Amino acid sequence: MNRYYLGLRGVRIGWFILCFLFMFSVPLQAKEINSTLKQQDIDISVCQADLKSKIDTILEQEDLKRSHWGILVKTLDNKRTLYELNSQKYFIPASNVKLLITAATLIKFGANYQIKTPVYASGSYPNLSVLKIVGNGDPTFKSEQLEKLAQELKARGIQRIDNLIVQDSPLERPSINPTWEWEDIQFYYAPAVNKLILNENAVILTLTSQELGDKLTIEWSDAIAAKQWMIDNKAITGEEDSPYTVSINRNFEKPLLTITGSLAINSKPRILGMAVVNPGEYFLNSLKFYLEQEGINIINSQVVYGESETDNLVKITEIRSDILQEIITNTNQDSNNLYAESLLNLLVNNTEKDNSIDNLKEILTTLGLDANLYHLKDGSGLSRHNLVTPETLVNLLILIATTPEGRNYRDSLPISGVNGTIKNRFKDTIIEGKVQAKTGTLSGTSALSGYINPPNYSPLAFSIIVNKSDLKPSQLRKIIDEIVINLGSLKQC
């Protein structure tokens, strides 16, 4: 299970943990909660000939008639279609976009690939004229690695660094995707994505009640990240058992958070994940902190943006990311948005095209996927400008299953009733442990696409997406789960 670390040692934002911690605090794009649907709620077995009528009956409910549904179910072995509804129409896929991103990166780089962050130096010991770190977009980089680097330099006898340089993305202000909703981008699940990522570019903010009518106290998990935010705290302590009404709004002209509303006097502290304002500066200042903690004197320090010379420098070490298999597993199982965006950016490495989505399409076209059946604006699925057909996702699932990376890809997906975002779904049903699928959630949108191994039928690939619904996410998930349980109950008869 992921961990998070408090204080200047940095904050480890584990997506699965934070989705739990923030379920009452922040609007989540990928939070999946427990479905109450049990096996006894539907028939024990479904004949193949009856599948269409059963799914059609589910979707004919009055509450669902105004929603837009897209479904495709195929057998994995012979690609025979068992059910289809609007499968060639476009849908907003939410986090099902991550299926495309993780497939492309796995095919291009392989499961054991690691992102390398090189460290260069010049000068004579014990003093260095330059120490330079070049970012390459490692989303797994943590404060512990900076601390270890500082300790290694001290062990080598380094006492002073004249110029501490970290090389980040080409733009001074890491881009926020313009198609994301503004209310999301101050939170941990929608941070800027750059070349020098540290602690997933996020920090924990804790709000604690005081005496009745007093302002809530604010505590940050990382003092360095906290310095980048200004706070206008107007939130107060409310009466016992009063409703939670705290709201956090960002001023887009400057890094100012205005906190309003109230937290009941008898409530537990509220934990929220916030985005780091300037990730490059956060990386630099954190590195400087650990170096100075080891007694190394820093004369000058700066972030440089874009390519810069390393010809006169010697590479003294490099810091490697987790292997790609672990990164894509975190991306798919915990629906980690920053990881997904980092993987998409990775696709420009060593290519002529400086466009990650074009490179993604080129990789997946080589796999056999029709590039005209999907249009992407991001890698995480936060954008409502993404368009994907259910046919695209099912074809992707079938095509990648035939490749050498097919098993690794499938293993990266959440397992029903076991882990990831479907850990609490399909419990006590015939398909507990038999579904490997990616979730997706935005307001009015819910999706589930992946593989299912029915006990009495051949393996299936499926995609279910609903858009334009006024139902709660939990209600949509229950409908999707009912359809999937019918698929899992298939038998030849």
Domain assignment present for residue 406? The answer is yes
Look up residue 142 and give its two tokens.
């943590």
pLDDT for 173: 61
Residue 342 has a CB neighbour count (10 Å cut-off) of: 29
Domain assignment present for residue 18? The answer is no
Contacts 24+ apart (CB under 8 A), 470-476: 470/66, 470/67, 470/444, 471/63, 471/64, 471/67, 473/31, 473/33, 473/441, 473/443, 473/446, 474/33, 474/35, 475/63, 476/67, 476/446
Alpha carbons 207 and 272: distance in angstroms, whole number: 8
**What single letter denotes the amino acid at residue 199?**
N
Q: Among 459, 456, 452, 455, which residue's Cα sits nearest to residue 483?
A: 452
Domain termination site, one of 321, 340, 375: 321
Domain containing residue 443: CATH number: 3.40.710.10
Domain assignment present for residue 2? The answer is no
Residues 197 and 242 in one domain: yes
Domain termination site, one of 267, 297, 321: 321
Domain assignment present for residue 405? The answer is yes
Domain termination site, one of 245, 275, 305: 275
Residues 72 and 181 in one domain: no
Alpha carbons 299 and 161: distance in angstroms, whole number: 6
Residues 340 and 426 in one domain: yes
**Interstrand relation of 202-208 and 236-238 (parallel, antiparallel or unpaired):** unpaired
Q: What is the DSSP string of 158-219?
A: --EEEEEEEEE-SSSSPPPPTTS-GGGTTBTTS----SS--GGGEEEEEEE--STTSBPEEE
Structural domain range at position 246 = 7-12+174-275
Domain assignment present for residue 260? The answer is yes
If you ran DSSP here, which 8-state letter would residue 141 be given? -
Residues 433 and 312 in one domain: no
pLDDT for 349: 73
pTM over 0.85: yes
Residues 136 and 188 in one domain: no
Residues 268 and 292 in one domain: no
Domain containing residue 136: CATH number: 3.50.80.20
Alpha carbons 76 and 56: distance in angstroms, whole number: 22
Residues 222 and 76 in one domain: no
Report angle CA 54, 60, 63 to the nearest 5 degrees.
130
Residues 354 and 462 in one domain: yes
> Is the distance from CB of 349 to CB of 75 less than 8 angstroms?
no
Domain assignment present for residue 339? The answer is yes
Domain assignment present for residue 1? The answer is no
Locate the DSSP E strands across 194-346: 202-208, 217-220, 230-233, 236-238, 247-251, 256-260, 262-264, 270-275, 297-305, 314-320
Q: Among 31, 30, 4, 18, which residue's Cα sits nearest to residue 270?
A: 18
Count of domains forming the chain = 3
Tens digit of pLDDT at every position of the chain (493 positions): 333 333 333 344 443 334 434 333 333 343 344 445 555 555 578 999 999 999 999 999 999 989 999 999 999 999 999 999 999 999 999 999 999 999 999 999 999 999 999 999 999 889 999 999 999 999 999 999 999 999 999 999 999 999 999 999 887 666 678 899 888 888 999 998 999 999 999 999 999 999 999 999 999 999 999 999 999 999 999 999 999 999 999 888 889 999 999 999 999 999 999 999 999 999 999 999 999 999 999 999 999 998 888 889 999 999 999 999 999 999 999 999 999 999 999 998 776 667 899 999 999 999 999 999 999 999 999 999 999 999 999 999 999 999 999 999 999 999 999 999 999 999 999 999 999 999 999 999 999 999 999 999 999 999 999 999 999 999 999 999 999 999 999 998 8
pLDDT for 40: 52
Which residues have C-beta within 8 Å of that of residue 440, sequence separation ≥ 6? 30, 93, 94, 95, 96, 97, 381, 446, 447, 448, 449, 465
Residues 251 and 108 in one domain: no
pLDDT for 4: 33
Domain assignment present for residue 26? The answer is no
Residues 82 and 122 in one domain: no
Residues 146 and 247 in one domain: no
Look up residue 450 and give its two tokens.
């992946």
Residues 169 and 194 in one domain: no
